[in-house]
């Protein structure tokens, strides 16, 4: 199913949060929305999963305006994993995952055998099967996030919208989520802060800045040092992953004294001889601060 944002604008109290956003997500492709904090990514995604109605323009699913599709029908087609998905209700993991079937159930009907099997498959797929009977309130942030991904999977949508899905996920689960998205065959629109994960996962990227799309294209076309500097205010070097060929960024993490964190850590290690400990980090900081003071840096 093709997703198209056709000149979507959102204004609240006279302020434009998203301006004439045009973005296509071809069927079965993954498009990443990147941009600084407050650039309008979540606002744009909310229009897709109908938490917001565009002030102008439209969100189209295979050419049909989503606002013209009955809510229950669009809930079957579009699953969303959002910043608001985390609820404080005391449900078990399997109950939360089963909620993903809601748009498919006639009123009051219980899950059938195949649906329960689907829920078990989805929990196993994201590695939370062992938590099935646990209250979601007792889970870690990453476990909860994976439960919500399982809930989205059992919805069996055609389009998946994810807002910062790797929040809370450790690096293994980030990589697994990226692989899951790629294997899903779904049409995916995902907002990501991790530009390297976005570059490795997404077929195309759209860059938002101040509510406007300032670049769109393949990761290699979009992620240039100039764009990273202009949009994020960060110096970066673009490299090609030696094995996968993916475009990746190396950030120039120099601090206000012009030194890198690596240099500082090395100094700390040399001065204390206790590599890798909290004590070392503290010592490194101390060295760094006192060096800065010696250099006349503002304190």
Ligand X SMILES: Nc1ncnc2c1ncn2[C@@H]1O[C@H](COP(=O)(O)OP(=O)(O)OP(=O)(O)O)[C@@H](O)[C@H]1O
List interacting residues with ligand X (CB under 6 A): 12, 17, 35, 37-43
The owner of tokens 């990273």 is: 228
Report the nearest approach of ligand X to the CB of residue 70 (Å). 25
User: 12 or 124: whose CB is closer to ligand X?
Assistant: 12
Indicate the residue among 37 and 244 with the shorter CB distance to ligand X.
37
98 or 191, CB closer to ligand X? 191
* Rounded Cα distance, 69 and 21, in Å: 21
Give the Cα separation of 135 and 139 in Å (integer).
Answer: 7
| Closest distance of CB 45 from ligand X, Å | 8
How near is the Cβ of 27 to ligand X at its closest, in Å? Answer: 25
Rg of the chain over all Cα atoms, to the nearest angstrom: 22
Smallest gap from Cβ 15 to ligand X, in A, equals 7
Q: Which is nearer to ligand X, 41 or 101 (CB)?
A: 41
Q: Which helix (H) or strand (E) holds 247?
A: strand 247-251
Phi/psi at 254 (5° precision)? -80, 140
Closest of 218, 235, 156, 257 to residue 30, by C-alpha: 218
- For the CB of residue 283, give the shortest distance to ligand X in the complex, in Å: 34
Task: Tell me the three state secondary structure of residue 154.
Answer: helix
The residue (of 14 and 273) whose beta carbon lies closer to ligand X is 14
Q: Classify the phi-psi angles of 188: left when phi > 0, otherwise alpha if psi is within -120 to 50, otherwise beta.
A: beta
């Amino acid at each position: 199913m093709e997703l198209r944002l056709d000149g979507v604008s959102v204004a609240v109290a006279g302020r434009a949060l998203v301006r004439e956003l045009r973005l296509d997500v071809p069927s079965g492709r993954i498009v990443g929305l990147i941009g600084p904090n407050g650039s309008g990514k979540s606002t744009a995604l909310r229009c897709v999963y109908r938490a917001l109605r565009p002030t102008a323009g439209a969100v189209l699913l295979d050419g049909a305006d989503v606002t013209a599709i009955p809510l229950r029908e669009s809930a079957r087609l579009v699953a969303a994993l959002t910043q608001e998905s985390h609820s404080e209700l005391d449900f078990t993991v399997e109950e939360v995952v089963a909620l993903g079937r809601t748009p498919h159930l006639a009123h009051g009907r219980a899950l059938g055998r195949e649906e329960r099997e689907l829920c078990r498959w989805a929990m196993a797929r994201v590695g939370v099967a062992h938590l099935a009977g646990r209250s979601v309130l007792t889970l870690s942030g990453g476990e909860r996030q994976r439960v919500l991904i399982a809930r989205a999977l059992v919805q069996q949508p055609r389009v998946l919208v994810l807002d910062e899905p790797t929040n809370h996920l450790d690096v293994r689960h980030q990589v697994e989520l990226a692989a899951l998205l790629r294997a899903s065959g779904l049409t995916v629109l995902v907002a990501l802060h991790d530009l390297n994960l976005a570059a490795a996962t997404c077929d195309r990227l759209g860059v938002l800045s101040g509510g406007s799309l300032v670049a769109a294209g393949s990761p290699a076309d979009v992620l240039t040092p100039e764009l990273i500097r202009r949009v994020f205010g960060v110096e970066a070097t673009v490299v090609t992953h030696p094995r996968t060929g993916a475009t990746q960024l190396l950030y120039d993490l120099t601090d206000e004294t012009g030194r890198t964190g690596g240099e500082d850590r090395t100094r700390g290690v040399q001065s204390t001889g206790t590599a890798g400990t909290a004590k070392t980090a503290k010592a490194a900081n101390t060295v760094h601060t006192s060096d800065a003071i010696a250099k006349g840096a503002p304190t």
